[in-house]
Structure formats: C-alpha cells, structure tokens
Amino acid sequence: MLIKGQNLTYRYPGEPVPLFDSLDFEVRGPGFISLFGLSGTGKSTLARLLCREIAPETGSISISAAPVTLYAWNTERFPGWCSVGQHIREVTPEHNLVSLDTISEALNVAALLESRFRELSMGQKNRVNLLRYLLQDFDILIADEALANVDEPSRNRILGFIKKSFPEKTFIYISHNATEVARFSKDILILSVNRPHTNLKTISGLNMPDASEPNPEKLKGTVLKLLEAATADSITTSTPAQPLNSKTDTPSEQVPQET
C-alpha cells in the first residue's frame, strides 16, 4: 500500500504562513508507522488531511487500492445513555464481535464494559475508544495520541499486541513519546519546528515485533536521531541550557499516568 502526498499546501484560516507548502511525501504499508513532532507542528492536521476530514489548498493525497481509513483521537466520547460494552457491540460489525473478548482483555478493559463512559478515567476512556476502532473493518488506522494517560508498561504491551494481531494493517501512530515511537515503528515521519513544512524527514525505527525489550544502545541512538530531527531548527536559535541549581531549581514534574 502506498500513501503519497504531492505538492501539498495547507494553511490555517487567517494565517499568512502556510503550515505545509508544496509538501511531497510517501508512506508504504502495511506496518506500524509513526508521525512525530513537538506540540503545534501539525501532526493532527496532517492526519486530518490523510483521512480527508479537511482539504488542502493545493496538491493531493493518494492512497492505493482505495482502502478504508479510520481516524481515532484521544478526546472522543461515547454516548451517555448506555454502557461502554453495549455501545461497542452496537457499532461493531457482526463478523468482528468474535474478537471482542480477546481485544478487550489485551487492552485491559474487559472489566469496564458494563461501566458508563463518564465513570472511567482518562486512560480507561482512551483504551475503550481504541477497542472500538480495532473492532472495525479498516485498512489504515490513524491513532492520534490514542494511548495518552496510559502507563508505559501498558502502552508497550498494547502496542506489541496490535503489531502481532494486525500484521496486514497500516497503523499511523501519533505520539509525543519518542521512546515508544523509536521502539515500535517501522518508519518515522518527522515534523520539525520549522514552518512551513516543505518536506518530512524519515528515519527507520527499531520495528520491535512485540513488547520485548530492545537493545538499549540502539534504542538510545534512534531516540537521539528522532529528537535531533524534530528540534533541529530550535537548537540553532535557542539559548544554551543552564545548569540545574539543586538549591533553587527543581526538574519539571511529570503528569502521573493512569492505568
């Protein structure tokens, strides 16, 4: 499967500088492909262009074989008048219901199916939403921060399960987590901080087939390449980092993730 963008130009309404300007790129599936960049670099916008939710000013995106493309993002909601499980059973094609138990166990949401969506934590909401999409008929699934607020061991286990269970599908995974992107991706398309984007740098990930631990040195090297490419323009213009003063400064706090 070939996903190809040609001469793609897009700007946000009212913005003088386009986000993408005559952008060309290619993505080859099946496999696990990631879209990586810092906040505000246009990852979600490119995803919406890929699934044709929005249209470019100029240029086109072509996908061979006319596949079914779905777009899952981390702020979606379920209806409030029924349980999570009832809704999922209603929207799942009948021939895919046989996989409900297996996938819900793998995502650790089987015990949540009788709950209402509003009763769930953010991490639980994202996992049941991902379950809803994995039970659909699709060729390409764009997963935009679909595992946000989920703890790292669970994320790794879920991504490993997806790769083993859907080898013939194409996943375009959007995440701010450089380590998981480097670890599981076949190819990584990088949106740098520079704008407009006229090209996408592509590097190879480790393409781990499951949740097994990768070679630490290879993982570290791939993460460094990824971060260097994503921040290349800011590195040349930013002021040097100041040493941490242990008496007056503290590292920024990490937001706890939900299981």
pLDDT at position 148: 93
Whether the per-residue pLDDT at 222 is higher than 80: the answer is yes
In whole numbers, what is the pLDDT of the chain averaged over residues?
88
Q: Which of 89, 69, 87, 90 is nearest to 78 (CA)?
A: 87
For tokens 């679909």, what's the residue?
A: 146
Q: Which of 170, 168, 150 is nearest to 107 (CA)?
A: 150
pLDDT at position 243: 36
- For 89-105, write each residue's pLDDT tens digit: 999 999 999 999 999 99
For the record, the structure tokens of 61 come out as 């995106």
pLDDT at position 129: 97
Structural domain spans, the chain: 2-68+138-232, 75-136
pLDDT at position 190: 95
**CATH architecture, domain defined by 2-68+138-232:** 3-Layer(aba) Sandwich (3.40)
Overall average pLDDT of the 245-256 stretch: 36
Whether the per-residue pLDDT at 239 is higher than 60: the answer is no
Q: Which of 72, 73, 70, 90 is nearest to 81 (CA)?
A: 90
> Which of 22-26, 30-34, 63-67, 85-89 is predicted with the least confidence, judged by mean pLDDT?
63-67
Q: Say how far apart CA 46 and CA 191 lie, in whole Å.
A: 10
Q: Say how far apart CA 188 and CA 75 lie, in whole Å.
A: 24
- For 192-208, write each residue's pLDDT tens digit: 988 898 888 999 999 99
pLDDT at position 86: 97
Whether the per-residue pLDDT at 49 is higher than 80: the answer is yes
Overall average pLDDT of the 221-238 stretch: 76
178 alpha carbon, distance to own chain's centre: 11
Cα separation of the two ends of the chain:
35
* Residues of the chain above pLDDT 70, percent: 90
Whether the per-residue pLDDT at 185 is higher than 80: the answer is yes
Position 233 confidence tier, pLDDT thresholds 50, 70, 90: low
